[in-house]
Structure 1
Amino acid sequence: MTFRQPPEWAPHEAVWIGFPSHSDLWEDDLEPARAEVAAFALAVHAEGRGEEVRLVAADPDSARAAAARAPFATIVQEPFGDIWLRDTGPLLVADSGGRLAARSFRFNGWGGKYELEGDDSVGLRLASTIGTDADRFDWILEGGAIDVDGTGLGVTTEQCLLNPNRNPGMSREEIEARLRSDLGIERLLWLGEGLLNDHTDGHVDNLARFVAEGVIALPVPDGDDDPNAEVYRDARARAEAFGLEIADIPSPGRVLRDGEIIPASYMNFYIGNAAVVVPLYGAANDEAAVAAVQALFPDRKAVGFRADHVLTGGGSFHCISQQVPRV
């Protein structure tokens, strides 16, 4: 039987969410980022109507802080380098008979940029907390680099998966074969570049997300000064040529922090059982983005929360979470 990642909108048993734990990494953003993570976790929990939230903290002090901010959550203490569990956590797959399995891949700090102790093994350790021994595959893959619709269809970017700082010497065809054998991705849409100044080298979960079988959500540029306008247009052309239905999400446009363009994206939303949580940035399109996501998920409540301080670490709500499917 083929094991595949269920789509994110399929039912979840729980979700792991990374809790900011290292003051030397987060500095003045530590407490504000913790507040943003707790708000995200509460929205996903949805007063028990959503899914079990498992906040993952790296040390005893951080575990106590997580419990204080989120008394509704289960606290999991496991050492890690940082909170980006979409990339370092296990990828959970299921077969048609309802058997669950875990996949773990090598991790090299997004191409050697941020190699932190614990990140390369936290996926194996989290899998063991749900009674699953993860299969370890000897090539580098981050969960945020791919997205799937559950039918064997996936999407990624050339900038990330073909980057020589990940798997030098592996061809496009070899990567496609690995994704087919390891995750059941039989058809793969290759997009080109990711967002400007994204240190992940173009993770697709900032650019394109499946929202139903064969339906992919893509950003619409916010005027001529949108720094990612050409990236969005190229992605749309490739998705159309691939034969996918496209759902439009506004772009936040040009978002600056300390005078620099940041990779702000509404696409980094998390699809929970009861809520879809959209990161916001104080941009003009914040409300329109939440409304657009709501229209795609009428059986869930779309909500938006500021993610400014989480973004200082390099990502947003989808990046810090990894769902546990209910099978």
Structure 2
Amino acid sequence: MVHPRPSRRTLLRSGAALAALALTDGCSSDSGGAEPPGPSGTASGAAPSAGPAAATMPAESRPHTRTFMAWPALEEVWGDQLPGVRQDIAGLAQTIAGFEPVVLLARPDQADQARQACGSTVEVIELMVDDLWVRDTGPTFVTGPKGLVGIDFNFNGWGNKQTHANDSQVARNLLDHYGIARVRAAITGEGGGIEVDGEGTLMATESSWVNDNRNPGRTRDQIEESFKELLGVEKVLWFKGVAGQDITDCHIDALTRFAEPGTAVLHRPAADTPPDIWSTASDQALQVLKSATDAKGRTLKVVEIPEPDFDLIQGSGKNFLATYINYYVCNGGVIVPRFGDRAADDHAVGIIGDLHPGRKVTQVTINHIAAGGGGIHCATQQQPAIGS
């Protein structure tokens, strides 16, 4: 859930935004001459489309082979925040590396700096990136009879809002690096815009998918059919979300997540927060969750996690993303943000720990990342283990 003020890098320089528009054409990603998405969701030379009978997207809680992250590259995006953001990324990568292998993508001329910052527990590979949000720029993985397949959702800078000449190619280049089959989706969007329970249910916001800045002319039903074909899901729970107020148009992974099949965690405003568009979006999501059933016919249990008190957070500005549900589940652990409101931080950790028994809950301070409007989940992407 985004903060009630403009969020997720709305501090973008006008020059960067204009550059993004110049680099892209409609909802097609800047691919340097690559083929456009095909009607079946495949690309020339890519793997066959991954449908429900072929492959499914595992829940994040299933075993991982590794976690991918990315080294933020551009001063034009972060300005004087860049050193602090890199410090947060290094700390986050080192923490996750205590649970499972971490591979950090970095530009060739920045790779040595990334290695020095992250240390020997984090593998750094040289691959051109623009920013750190690998949840959105990297592939979304599915598994099935043919093994591991990466879905390329045609990243276009969250609807042409940010420079992404390199980030639009991260999914393709990363899959090529590891020799993993690639499916190019017939729709445009981001990994942070989808949430699955691993048992056939997917959640998404209309604002970040049924939006002309990604999918002009496509209906919600058409996008839903693509989800079912690509990710092997059977039911989609849609939330209205909020369009045009943050760079992601209200990604689902900052609004509500599955803690496990049948249980959803929901971001809620702090006590005494005046009503606004974001609290309205949370209220609407609560009503959807309370009345919904999942793909297995279960009524959902809803667990609410309130945001911290912004007056107690050092460095929180108008773009700060203060949601605890943007956490990351890795092998044996859960990585949760620490914002500086001790009472709220402890309350959130207690709830999340109870929801993920048997995993070690680790808090990480990410206030520089959060000041740019993102979180731990946004900065990570899991590669599921085959057969998990």
TM above 0.5, one fold?
Answer: yes
TM-score, scaled relative to structure 1: 0.92
For 2:80, what is the secondary structure of its paired residue? Answer: helix
Which of 256, 264, 267 is the equivalent residue of 1:208? 256
Contact 2:71 2:129 in 1 (8 A): no
Q: 1:209 to 1:195 in 2, by over 3 A?
A: farther
Contact 1:307 1:316 in 2 (8 A): yes
Identify the range of structure 1 (75-84 vs 21-30) with the bigger mean alpha-carbon deviation.
Answer: 21-30
Q: Supply the distance in 2 between the matched residues of 1:259 and 1:13 (Cα, whole angstroms).
A: 36
5+ long unaligned stretches in structure 2: 1-52, 293-298
**What is the CA-CA distance between 1:138 and the residue it aligns to?**
3.2
| Aligned match of 1:149 | 197
Task: Give deviations 1:186-233, integer Å, cap 9, x for gaps.
Answer: 201111225994320010000111111121111233113165333222
| Aligned match of 1:233 | 283
Amino acid at match of 2:84: P
Which of 224, 245, 266 is the equivalent residue of 1:176? 224
Q: 1:259 to 1:104 in 2, by over 3 A?
A: closer
Which of 93, 99, 118 is the equivalent residue of 2:142? 93
| Aligned match of 2:92 | 40
Which of 326, 335, 342 is the equivalent residue of 1:268? 326
For 2:186, what is the secondary structure of its paired residue? Answer: strand
Amino acid at match of 1:65: Q
Q: Supply the distance in 2 between the matched residues of 1:259 and 1:152 (Cα, whole angstroms).
A: 38
Q: 1:72 to 1:259 in 2, by over 3 A?
A: closer
TM-score, scaled relative to structure 2: 0.78
Please say if 1:158 is aligned against 2:212.
no
| Aligned match of 1:302 | 361
Contact 2:138 2:381 in 1 (8 A): yes
For 1:128, what is the secondary structure of its paired residue? Answer: helix
| Aligned match of 1:315 | 374
- Which structure dedicates a bigger proportion of its chain to strand? 1
Please say if 1:246 is aligned against 2:337.
no
| Aligned match of 2:13 | none
Q: Supply the distance in 2 between the matched residues of 1:165 and 1:219 (Cα, whole angstroms).
A: 26
For 2:187, what is the secondary structure of its paired residue? Answer: strand
Q: 1:304 to 1:38 in 2, by over 3 A?
A: same
Please say if 1:6 is aligned against 2:58.
yes
**What is the CA-CA distance between 1:59 and the residue it aligns to?**
2.8
| Aligned match of 2:31 | none
For 1:188, what is the secondary structure of its paired residue? Answer: strand
Q: Supply the distance in 1 between the matched residues of 2:333 and 2:162 (Cα, whole angstroms).
A: 31
Task: Give deviations 1:127-175, integer Å, cap 9, x for gaps.
Answer: 1222213111232020000100111100001111112211011001101
Q: Supply the distance in 1 between the matched residues of 2:97 and 2:316 (Cα, whole angstroms).
A: 34
Task: Give deviations 1:26-55, integer Å, cap 9, x for gaps.
Answer: 222222111111111122111xxx210001
Q: 1:211 to 1:57 in 2, by over 3 A?
A: same
**What is the CA-CA distance between 1:248 and the residue it aligns to?**
2.6
Give structure 1 regions of 4+ aligned residues with deviation exceeding 4 angstroms. Answer: 194-197, 253-259
Q: 1:253 to 1:155 in 2, by over 3 A?
A: farther
| Aligned match of 1:15 | 67
For 2:324, what is the secondary structure of its paired residue? Answer: coil
Q: 1:254 to 1:313 in 2, by over 3 A?
A: closer
CA-based RMSD: 2.0
Q: Supply the distance in 1 between the matched residues of 2:113 and 2:241 (Cα, whole angstroms).
A: 38
Task: Give deviations 1:224-255, integer Å, cap 9, x for gaps.
Answer: 31653332221111011113221232322557
**What is the CA-CA distance between 1:258 and the residue it aligns to?**
7.0
| Aligned match of 1:186 | 234
Q: Supply the distance in 2 between the matched residues of 1:26 and 1:169 (Cα, whole angstroms).
A: 33
**What is the CA-CA distance between 1:261 and the residue it aligns to?**
6.0
| Aligned match of 1:54 | 103
Task: Give deviations 1:273-313, integer Å, cap 9, x for gaps.
Answer: 12211123223512211221111112111122222211233
